[in-house]
Amino acid sequence: MLLVMALLAAQVTTGASTKPTPRGDAPWITNDDYPMEEARARHEGVVAFALLVDASGHAVGCDVTATSGFVGLDKQTCFLMMRRARFNPALENGRAVESHVTGNFTWRLGNAPPYRNGVDGAVGVAAPVPPGALQLTVATLPSDYRQPAKAAISFGTDQRVVDCRILESSGNAAIDRVACEQLRALATAPSANAGSTAAKTAAYIVSFRVDTPAKP
């Protein structure tokens, strides 16, 4: 009996154990993922979370262990990690096993350093968007989406957006509305001449890309 117990203990202690490691090159969270309502409200914060990673390397559970103070940022963090995070699973005696991973994620407005895959990172809205182009990430695109939307934004004398007009439709009215909503939240007025109080306009091309979940 003692010999059997000793052999079992030896098998456990001599087996190589490794922690789960991030898999894939595509970033799990990008600036495009900043929740629009949270950005508009100027909400920032750090979310601490714990992931349950199964033996195939998928995140199958996510709990917020320390809130950012804003429900939208907390929910977005777990939603994206569950949807996109993939790991090389933890190994115990050469066998893939379930494991837990903890991390922190920072949401902040303004420029942020590049984010690489892993459980710690930061993104920020690259705010504000300069005149020219804006790319948005969506879960799906309707079948009648044809092209990026071209819009004209008008700014008041206080530099705030007062109007958004679609010059060339994307082919879908709902997508056009999203383009204007995002521009209203993120667009910035062109530089003014000293002492100028005139209202200004700027043209944007708003393109959309589909968020593709990470491959198993």
What ranges do the domains of the chain cover?
A: 19-125, 132-191+198-210
**Cα–Cα distance list, 148 to 126, 176, 187, 195, 210 (Å):** 20, 9, 17, 35, 13
Distance CA 105, CA 45 (A): 8
Nearest to 59 by CA among 109, 101, 115, 7: 101
99-109, strands of its sheet edge to edge: 59-66, 45-53, 99-109, 120-125
User: To which residue do tokens 């209202």 refer?
Assistant: 199
pLDDT of residue 112: 52
The CATH label, of 3.30.2320, 3.30.2420, 1.10.760, 1.20.120, for the domain at 19-125 is: 3.30.2420
Q: In this prediction, what percent of the chain has a pLDDT beyond 70? A: 73
Band (pLDDT 50/70/90 cuts) for residue 7 is very low
Higher pLDDT residue, 4 or 137? Answer: 137
State the sign of the Cα–Cα–Cα–Cα dihedral 176, 181, 187, 189. positive
pLDDT of residue 173: 93
State the sign of the Cα–Cα–Cα–Cα dihedral 179, 180, 186, 187. positive
pLDDT of residue 153: 87
Pull the structure tokens for residue 202: 């700027």
**Mean pLDDT to the nearest integer, 124-128:** 43
pLDDT of residue 199: 53
What is the distance in angstroms between the CA of the first residue and the CA of the last residue of the chain? 43
Between strands 120-125 and 132-138, the pairing is unpaired
pLDDT of residue 165: 92
pLDDT of residue 155: 84
**Mean pLDDT to the nearest integer, 80-87:** 89
pLDDT of residue 191: 57
User: To which residue do tokens 């601490």 refer?
Assistant: 48
pLDDT of residue 3: 27
The pLDDT tens digits for 89-119 are: 999 988 999 999 888 888 887 655 544 455 5
pTM of the model as a whole: 0.54
The pLDDT tens digits for 38-82 are: 877 778 888 888 999 999 999 999 999 999 899 989 998 999 889
CB 107 within 8 A of CB 123: yes
pLDDT of residue 154: 87
The pLDDT tens digits for 162-202 are: 899 999 999 999 999 988 988 887 766 665 544 454 458 88
Phi, psi angles (nearest 5°) of residue 75: -65, -40
pLDDT of residue 58: 92
